[in-house]
Amino acid sequence: MGIATHLGPWLLGTVKNTTGTTAGTIRNTGACPCIQTKAVLFSEVTNPVTIAVLPAGSYIQNLQFVITTAFATANPTFQVFVNGVAITAAVAVASPALGATGVAGISLGTARPDLVLNVGSTDAIITIVNTATTATAGAGTFAIAYMVRNSDGTIYPTAFTGP
């Protein structure tokens, strides 16, 4: 089974502390990206629908809407929120074309880029609202990619806290 939980950022790399100025002696660790998904029927998305809950301090890297059942009358238009605060204006899904399935990339941070870089000091509920004037048939899955960080938005400890 490939599922595990852990606290804080999971750092990868071979050099965790800088000891020089050449490759192999300069810190090369970085935090790993994570993903959460949520399948939705868009005819049901009239109130905020929770698509993910991100750990405090997370950096949102990407949001996609994978259309699995094509929309017949109009592609969806929706807005994305972090703990009830809009991080996008209303986003109309223009691609894939009406009546087609495919992957739509969602532009983030148009309203609050600061919340994209750091969702805040507490866990963040990510919601979407269908802002289209009429509900349409169609379905898909939201996939949100993010980097787990410390609750203050850092990925490296500021001081050793071990025994």
Is 56 inside any structural domain?
Answer: yes
Q: In this model, does residue 14 exceed pLDDT 60?
A: yes
Q: How far apart are CA 84 and CA 48, in angstroms?
A: 9
Specify burial of residue 91 (Cβ count, 10 A radius: 0-12, 13-18, 19+): buried
Phi and psi at residue 140, in whole multiples of 5°? -170, -175
- This prediction has a pTM of 0.83
Question: pLDDT digits over 22-68, tens only?
Answer: 888 888 877 788 999 999 887 766 678 999 999 999 999 999 999 99
Is 84 inside any structural domain?
Answer: yes
Q: In this model, does residue 12 exceed pLDDT 70?
A: yes
Residue 61: left if φ>0, alpha if ψ -120 to 50, beta else—which one? alpha
Is 92 inside any structural domain?
Answer: yes
Q: How far apart are the first and last CA of the chain?
A: 31
Is 152 inside any structural domain?
Answer: no
Those residues with Cβ within 8 angstroms of residue 27's Cβ, 6 or more apart along the chain or in another chain: 13, 15, 16, 17, 18
Give the strand pairing for 139-147 and 49-54. unpaired
Is 50 inside any structural domain?
Answer: yes
Query: What was the pLDDT predicted at 162?
Result: 53
- 130 pLDDT band, cuts 50/70/90, is confident
Is 97 inside any structural domain?
Answer: yes
Is 27 inside any structural domain?
Answer: no
CATH number, domain containing residue 38:
2.60.120
Q: In this model, does residue 157 exceed pLDDT 90?
A: no
Instruction: Supply the range of the domain harboring residue 77.
Output: 33-147
Q: In this model, does residue 91 exceed pLDDT 80?
A: yes
Q: In this model, does residue 101 exceed pLDDT 70?
A: yes
Lowest-pLDDT range of 23-27, 43-47, 96-100, 141-145: 43-47
Report the domain count for the chain: 1
Average pLDDT over residues 99-103: 88
